[in-house]
């Protein structure tokens, strides 16, 4: 019986945390109320919320559309698409997308006059 109550508590806590993330991403209205509920329930409020301004697969599609390119060029394309991201973050995103595409066999890395150049795999 106690296990059932613990699962209900955990489910409610997770729902409140999800609601908090949704409020932060939207207009912020009601955030103080949700955080008050979390505090009363003894749930630690996360310091930061990861916001993903690109939809699933959007980064990969954007990087693929820029080929052939360097990682820096792909990073600049992401930075233009997501102005809230720092260049460092955009560069890292581009690099990770290119590495995943390389792992799946879609792109290869070579060296050209502009440095390290990524292109579609033959």
88-109 per-position pLDDT tens digit: 989 999 999 999 999 999 999 9
Q: CB 12: neighbour CB atoms within 10 A?
A: 13
Closest CA to 65 of 91, 97, 96: 97
CB 79 within 8 A of CB 90: yes
41-80 per-position pLDDT tens digit: 999 988 765 556 778 889 999 999 999 999 999 999 999 9
CATH code of the domain containing 102: 1.10.10
Residues 113 and 83 placed together within one structural domain of the fold: yes
More confident residue, 64 or 85: 64
Cα(122)–Cα(107) distance, integer angstroms: 8
- DSSP state, 107? E
Residues 35 and 67 placed together within one structural domain of the fold: no
CB 21 within 8 A of CB 30: no
Phi and psi torsions of 114, nearest 5°: -90, 10
The residue segments making up the domain with residue 16 are 2-40
- pTM, two decimals, is 0.58
């Amino acid at each position: 019986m106690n296990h059932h109550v613990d699962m209900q508590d955990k489910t409610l806590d997770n729902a409140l945390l999800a609601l908090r993330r949704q409020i932060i991403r939207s207009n912020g209205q009601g955030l103080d109320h949700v955080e008050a509920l979390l505090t009363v329930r003894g749930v630690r409020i996360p310091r930061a919320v990861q916001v993903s301004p690109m939809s699933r697969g959007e980064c990969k599609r954007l990087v693929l559309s820029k080929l052939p390119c360097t990682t820096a060029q792909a990073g600049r394309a992401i930075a233009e698409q997501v102005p809230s991201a720092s260049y460092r973050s955009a560069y890292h995103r581009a690099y990770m997308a290119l590495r995943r595409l390389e792992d799946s066999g879609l792109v290869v890395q070579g060296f050209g006059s502009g440095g390290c150049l990524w292109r579609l795999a033959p």
